[in-house]
Amino acid sequence: MSAETPNRARHDPHATPDAGHGERVGVYVCHCGHNIANTVAVEEVARWAGEQPNVVVARDYKFMCSSLGQELIEQDIQQLGLNRVVVAACSPHMHEKTFRSACQRAGLNPYLFEMANIREMGSWATDDREAATQKARAQVKGAVDRAVHQQPLEPLYVDINPNTLVVGGGIAGLTAALELANAGYHVYLVERDSSIGGHMAKLDKTFPTLDCAACILTPKMVDVANHPNITLMTWSEVIAVHGYVGNFTVRVRKKARYIKEDLCTGCGTCVEKCPVRIIDQNFEVGLGYRKAVYRNFPQAVPKYPVIDTANCTFFQRGKCRACEIVCPTDAIDFNQKDQIVDLEVGNIILATGYEQFDARRVPQYGYGRLANVFTSMEFERMVNAAGPTAGRVVLRDGVTVPKRIGIIHCVGSRDKNYHEYCSRACCMAALKFAHLVHERVPEAEVFNFYIDIRASGKHYEEFYHRVLSESTHFIRGRVAEVTDAARGPGEEGQLIIQVEDTLIGKQRRIPVDMVILMAGMESRKDARQVAALFGLGCDYDGWFTERHAKLDPVVTMTEGILVAGACQGPKAIPESVAQGSAAAARVAGMIGQRVMKMEPVRASIDAASCSGCRICNTLCPYHAITFHEDRKVSEVITALCQGCGACVAACPSAAISGAHFTRDQVLAQIEGILWDARQPEVLWLEPQ
């Protein structure tokens, strides 16, 4: 093992001549209670680190992030004249900021600090103490060797655009938009559908208080539409996002409505006279009809209808024009084109919501095959006074009132074949349905088939007890199948629910007239494309990944991109509202700072080495590289650069260097990590 700086680094044009000589490094190995110390021999790592070149002091400490741990660093900087600090502890996501501040307080430039993650990447990843300790040594060595090459850097400050984009006009997005608008900031609310309100607008009652969804939602929708600080863009989609926190440029496609919004009074005559009637797969989830020119529901916001060109007789066959003829204000415009609008915003809140699990994927429950099997969202529309049956609970024939209704929980949720997670809202919705059936059809019997009743929310358990006292039957067991295959005369003409009643330990066959499938929530089909568009991450199930599941649930790993509502994971209304407000508060806090400190991790081009090949120009995802025709060299616009390093790696002349990620720093770290690579012992990760 040699402490010498690798030769290659000497040729680096950005290498400082004296890098790697005479630096005074302090190393601090954290126990993190038992989190690290149980698996890594921290004292030994510290002792060994103290023997490494350039290391002046090496210590281990129970909790480096505590104020005492930080003071330890500060004292050593001042008393021992440290000019580099390495902490081997948790992920930099956790505490890099903490230790950088400690360095700064002691007068050391924070970019002379380096962190080795021996917890997430070491102690938490294995039980093998020997291997974890060996890896920790390598990580510390890499960090020390890197640190001696680090240079003092000054943070960049950028102005924060006070406008915010909210994507999605469901309850989470509406809440976030209103909170920010009320705080005095401008909000662009972009909604893909023709009106706002999201899934909540389809519901009749909301659990557990049973207040009418429309009554509590419509005022919010109207507030959003009328708010001077909100620009509402429905029937619109984000198609491109450029820039970075504080300064995003967002390109939005406003789809043609074929209605002139300035002239339309929302009288609805066009809808009434339109001769085309089709099944509404969107708002009525297939249970009702709409016209080719339509509004989702009577109180839709905005009030302007939209023409569905795929089903409009005029767009398909060139004639009809019924809507144009009857419109009293000449607001129909068949020649309208999509518009592209660019918005400048500082922050983006994604509230793109969820989709209902497709119950057809569980064929043994018969949805789509057996007429009187309904999904939970179909039933929501059915019990809604503004829905297809005007609130009457009836079978698919539209007339017969069911006498026995089976509600099957966890369809597509808590099921390894589909989604392993719990969709959280369905148990309560099922209880609500049971209650609504008792209210509308008092003589009907209701059976709930459940795995567990998950009623963990304010007043939820109380609601469960209320429904229990209304003599709903609760049968604990996962339903095997719903069938119309009668075994004998007692079952003819009914739907049979076959289930193992796990409380009495018997197979049961329960005949019912109607089955409601509590289909769970899943991420939107295009969630991954949306995530790629905005540059954030998705988990395995397609839910957007928050920065920290517990402590930072509304911010993503991408600065300036926040999430709210069910796009981050299954949620009911109260949690979606809470998250919408939280995201708005975070954004308001950010805007209040006016300027934002940015990491000075930026690329720069050494003009003398640049050959003018322009490879980097097209490669840069942030359009941050400009080409000077006169001098035939490229230059990085520092304010736009995000420090991703793509150009650094691609430059054939090695003319581009990334601050804080220079070649000598990265190569020194690699060599440090590989300090023992010549030794024959190689660590393999072996399965079991």
Write down the least CB distance from residue 523 to another protein, Å: 20
CA–CA dist 29, 44 (Å, integer): 10
Write down the least CB distance from residue 492 to another protein, Å: 9
Q: Is 514 helix (H, G, I), strand (E, B) or coil?
A: strand
CA–CA dist 523, 528 (Å, integer): 9
Write down the least CB distance from residue 398 to another protein, Å: 3
CA–CA dist 58, 46 (Å, integer): 5
Write down the least CB distance from residue 285 to another protein, Å: 9
- Nearer to another protein by Cβ, of 59 and 381: the residue is 381
- Nearer to another protein by Cβ, of 395 and 578: the residue is 395
Write down the least CB distance from residue 382 to another protein, Å: 8
Write down the least CB distance from residue 392 to another protein, Å: 9
Backbone angles phi, psi at 508, to 5 degrees: -130, 150
Write down the least CB distance from residue 126 to another protein, Å: 24
- Nearer to another protein by Cβ, of 485 and 551: the residue is 485
Element (H, E) at 577: helix 573-592
- Nearer to another protein by Cβ, of 59 and 202: the residue is 202
Beta strands in 286-346 (DSSP E): 288-291, 293-294, 306-307, 339-345
Neighbours of 193 (CB within 10 A): 19
Question: Which residue is it, tokens 């070491």?
Answer: 122
- Nearer to another protein by Cβ, of 248 and 367: the residue is 367
- According to DSSP, the β-strands at 514-519 and 404-411 are parallel
- Nearer to another protein by Cβ, of 193 and 378: the residue is 378
Q: What's the longest Cα–Cα distance across the chain?
A: 95
DSSP readout, 65-123?
TSHHHHHHHHHHHHHH---EEEEEES-HHHHHHHHHHHHHHTT--GGGEEEEE-IIIII
Q: Is 26 exposed, middle or buried (0-12, 13-18, 19+ CB in 10 A)?
A: buried
- Nearer to another protein by Cβ, of 326 and 395: the residue is 395
Residue among 440, 546, 397 nearest 93 (CA): 546
Q: Which residues contact 618 (CB under 8 A, 6 or more apart)?
A: none
- Nearer to another protein by Cβ, of 189 and 373: the residue is 373
Looking from the CA of 198 toward its CB, the CA atoms found within 13 Å total 28
- According to DSSP, the β-strands at 404-411 and 211-212 are unpaired
Write down the least CB distance from residue 220 to another protein, Å: 30
- Nearer to another protein by Cβ, of 371 and 504: the residue is 371
Write down the least CB distance from residue 524 to another protein, Å: 19
| CB crowding 79-92: b at 16 or more within 10 Å, else e | eeebbbbbbbbbeb
Contact set with another protein (CB under 8 A): 277, 279, 281, 286-289, 360, 362-364, 366-369, 371, 375, 378, 382, 388-389, 394, 396-399, 481, 483-487
- Nearer to another protein by Cβ, of 55 and 359: the residue is 359
- Nearer to another protein by Cβ, of 287 and 582: the residue is 287
- Nearer to another protein by Cβ, of 411 and 584: the residue is 411
- Nearer to another protein by Cβ, of 105 and 440: the residue is 440
CA–CA dist 30, 59 (Å, integer): 9
DSSP state of 135: H
- Nearer to another protein by Cβ, of 91 and 498: the residue is 498
Residue among 315, 285, 301, 173 nearest 238 (CA): 173
Write down the least CB distance from residue 375 to another protein, Å: 8
Dihedral through CA 470, CA 476, CA 479, CA 482, nearest 10? -30
Write down the least CB distance from residue 359 to another protein, Å: 8
Backbone angles phi, psi at 658, to 5 degrees: -100, 125
| CB crowding 574-604: b at 16 or more within 10 Å, else e | bbbbbbbbbbbebbbebbeeeebebeebbbb
Write down the least CB distance from residue 323 to another protein, Å: 19
Write down the least CB distance from residue 448 to another protein, Å: 22
CA–CA dist 301, 650 (Å, integer): 50
- Nearer to another protein by Cβ, of 2 and 417: the residue is 417
Write down the least CB distance from residue 415 to another protein, Å: 12
**HEC profile for 260-288?**
CCCCCCCCCHHHHHCCCEEEECCCCCCCE
Are residues 54 and 5 in contact, defined by beta-carbon separation less than 8 angstroms? no
Q: Which residues pair with 29 in a beta bridge?
A: 60, 88
Q: Which residues contact 7 (CB under 8 A, 6 or more apart)?
A: none
Write down the least CB distance from residue 426 to another protein, Å: 19
